[in-house]
Amino acid sequence: MKQNLYKFKLLTLTLLTIWSISGNAQTFKTNAQLLKTINANYLSGMAQYKVMMSLLEGDRFPKTFDVKTGKLVTSDSGWWCSGFYPGTLLELYAKTKDPVLLTETNRILGHLVKEQYNTTTHDLGFMMYCSFGNALMNDPKPEYKAVLLNSAKSLSTRFDPKIGCIKSWDSKKKEFLVIIDNMMNLELLFWATRTTGDSSYYKIAVTHANTTMKNHFRPDYSSYHVINYNPETGAVQKKQTAQGYADESAWARGQAWGLYGYTVMYRETRDQRYLDQANHIASFILKHPNLPKDKIPYWDFNAPDIPDALRDASAGAVMSSALFELAHYAGNKQANMYFKAAEKMLQSLSAAPYQSLPGTNGGFLLQHSVGHLPQHSEVDVPLTYADYYYVEAMKRYETINSFK
């Protein structure tokens, strides 16, 4: 009985969602030249990823490219970024229909599939939904569905109801660590509930988002990177920003994860609180005095060496993609602001200095991203997630007036 009631509520929510999107539809004026550039980007992207394929060995997954050695820096399938390479391949294949891309996707998915049972990471949304989720949309095979359901089950094992969150990083200390990035992994759980009718996944996602909204954000709606909870009481022990300039600074990609995550939360629940949160985060980003004119953020909004601080193309790509979606949910004035900002980000990423020259950069599409500057890791380099969200932003721009 409860299961049937939940399915009824889910159907009602789906109908309200369709009505809401169509009833408040915005019409956005796209730039003809940018659309031509995007079409060219798909073709150059296909060529670039063939370069990457030629450099990739065995069961390894690309992370970045070392200019000094001329070699890809790679990982095994357990690295949190492993899903972005097949995900980008599938997005490029969807536009170009080049069978080489699909063959490579199927090959690399064969090495990734075992991660569906990985309970040691919170990043299964990145790893499995960005890969097998795209594969399912491209070709709805039951085995892809099974992989995603197992992935959602594995992710759910990291949820602690006492904390109200999914654990991000394991620790031997008396702490329960949650990072803002984890908002990006909730989409997998919403998919699992829609697919199975099992509301437990939905409830975990909502509880995690609510706890994060309560504890991760400052009064100006900037976000900490890491919240350290007491695993026994659920109390906040410390607020940190590990990959940013300082604990109280606004690490750019962290702000992007929050923006994207709460936009997804509103899409999946239609809860006004999440739309308000996404709007607040967008306002912090777009009205910040340190946001450059080209709209590609510095790696941290409070970096001490601005305007000479490094930019982060990955943060710009995530922001652009998120803002294109958020524009469909916001009021007219906000919607236009979001669209124009996202469009500018996309234009900037599609030109120098962010766009790679053909045959260079290890096959990556974008340059100038920052992974973890405080640890001197992946600094001013190409990154797989920058490419993934850049291609997603291009797709969303092309379909902006027929948004799905």
Give the active site residues: 123, 181
C-alpha separations of 45 from 88, 96, 283, 328, 397 in Å: 9, 10, 32, 27, 17
369 phi and psi angles, rounded to 5 deg: -110, 160
Integer Cα distance of 288 and 217 in angstroms: 16
- Residue 88 parent element (H or E): helix 84-96
Q: Are the C-beta atoms of residues 26 and 334 closer than 8 Å to each other?
A: no
Q: Which of 274, 388, 366, 271 is nearest to 312 (CA)?
A: 366
Looking only at the bridges linking them, the beta strands covering 226-229 and 176-179 are antiparallel
CB atoms within 10 A of CB 231: 18
In degrees, rounded to 5, the angle at the alpha carbon of residue 119 between the alpha carbons of residues 113 and 124 is 55
- Residue 65 parent element (H or E): strand 61-66
Give Cβ neighbours of residue 396 (< 8 Å, ≥ 6 apart): 321, 324, 325, 403
Q: Are the C-beta atoms of residues 17 and 270 closer than 8 Å to each other?
A: yes
371: its two tokens: 């992974």
In degrees, rounded to 5, the angle at the alpha carbon of residue 101 between the alpha carbons of residues 187 and 56 is 90
**Helix, strand, or coil (residue 232):** coil
Give Cβ neighbours of residue 289 (< 8 Å, ≥ 6 apart): none
